[in-house]
């Protein structure tokens, strides 16, 4: 007996204006040899030729009841999954794969209540994220943007007043000693940095093994560090966690790096800190509102490096991420639960078990 048909839909932001995948490494080749699986895209979310406003809508895209009803599995790149996505239920949708580690745009309770499992790829961006933070630290320390402008502007006379720093001996403070935080600690330790971390759930034994000293509070971390890098998750407890008071405690020579989530930081306070010289500079891959408006005050500041929430998105990380996503969909199409489920309570729900059982191969008699 042939396997039950399984449709997996990728969100439309994977496509370019020509209607073809804009990112080559999305793992579609993994479905070869699985004829029961059909791949589609949610094309009403994709850009069209000449749509210059698409980028402004990109981070506000969301799943609709129509999308939920159209597939057995959905792969999420950027869109939101809200309770309204399930306004008409989810009789068919069995699984959502989040291509990355962050799940802050997915309402997990709504998914569970509608018998939809959600899985992510928690480790595929670990090095890419940590090395991005390290790159920003190194570029800030070496004053790379200013060095480049000197050449472009023909201002070689500014050499004596444009001298950077070396990292050995400097203090790095990491907020959140999860996977990417630990990897950054490993990278920084190899460069001779002293590494502190504030991470309430971190293991002291594991931290010590990494050569990391855990501190009791953020105030101490911000006051002591030459570089502070955020690696914690965005949730109700961390939204707006970093405030003006923290920037006030930093050394005027210190730098701030964020490759986690922009909403963790009071961005207006950060602008003030950069503009008024509370800190020396910042490297930011994420922002409170994305895409960052061209007239945002951050854009005009000379002491901040800005990247478009894309710095960790390397070809290597993308391939690893999308391979795991595709393999998870293949498991569900075979009646098996995927790895890395982030709403494990769904596994005990009869509705989810019934959905999953539809794809299980018939028992041999």
The catalytic residue positions are 261, 290, 309
Burial 258-286 (b: 16+ CB within 10 A, else e): bbbbbbbbbbebbbbbbeeebbbbbbbbb
> How far is Cα 137 from Cα 122, in angstroms, rounded to an integer?
24
> How far is Cα 116 from Cα 95, in angstroms, rounded to an integer?
5
Which residues lie closer than 8 Å to 202 by C-beta, 6 or more apart?
177, 214
Q: Decide if 266 contacts 272 (C-beta within 8 A).
A: no
Q: Decide if 328 contacts 119 (C-beta within 8 A).
A: yes
Inter-CA distances, 101 with 14, 104, 358, Å: 17, 9, 28
CA atoms within 13 A on the CB side of 170: 23
Residue 338 is given by DSSP the state P
Q: Decide if 267 contacts 292 (C-beta within 8 A).
A: no
């Amino acid at each position: 007996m042939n396997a039950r048909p399984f449709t997996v839909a990728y969100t439309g932001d994977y496509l370019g204006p020509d209607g073809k995948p804009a990112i080559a490494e999305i793992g579609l080749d993994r479905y070869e040899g699985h004829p029961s699986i059909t791949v589609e895209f949610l094309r009403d979310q994709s850009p069209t030729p000449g749509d210059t406003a698409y980028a402004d809508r990109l981070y506000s895209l969301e799943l609709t009841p129509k999308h939920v009803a159209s597939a057995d599995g959905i792969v999420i790149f950027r869109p939101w999954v809200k309770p309204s996505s399930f306004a008409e239920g989810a009789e068919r949708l069995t699984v959502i794969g989040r291509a990355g580690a962050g799940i802050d745009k997915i309402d997990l309770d709504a998914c569970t209540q509608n018998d939809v499992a959600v899985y992510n790829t928690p480790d595929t961006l670990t090095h890419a994220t940590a090395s991005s933070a390290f790159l920003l630290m190194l570029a800030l320390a070496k004053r790379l943007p200013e060095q480049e402008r000197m050449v472009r502007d023909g201002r070689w006379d500014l050499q004596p007043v444009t001298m950077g720093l070396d990292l050995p001996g400097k203090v790095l403070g990491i907020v959140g000693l999860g996977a990417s935080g630990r990897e950054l600690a490993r990278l920084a330790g190899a460069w001779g940095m002293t590494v502190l971390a504030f991470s309430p759930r971190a293991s002291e034994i594991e931290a010590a093994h990494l050569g990391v000293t855990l501190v009791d509070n953020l105030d101490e971390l911000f006051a002591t560090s030459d570089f502070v890098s955020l690696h914690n998750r965005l949730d109700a407890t961390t939204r707006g966690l970093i405030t003006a008071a923290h920037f006030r405690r930093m050394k005027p020579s210190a730098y701030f790096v964020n490759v986690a989530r922009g909403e963790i930081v009071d961005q207006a306070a950060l602008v003030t800190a950069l503009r008024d010289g509370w800190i020396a500079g910042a490297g930011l891959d994420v922002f409170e509102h994305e895409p960052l408006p061209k007239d945002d005050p951050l854009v005009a500041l000379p002491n901040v490096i800005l990247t478009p929430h894309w710095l960790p998105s390397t070809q290597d990380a993308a391939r690893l991420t999308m391979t795991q996503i595709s393999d998870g969909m293949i498991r569900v199409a075979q009646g098996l639960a995927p790895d890395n489920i982030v709403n494990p309570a769904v596994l005990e729900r009869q509705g989810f078990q019934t959905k999953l059982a539809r794809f299980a191969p018939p028992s041999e008699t």
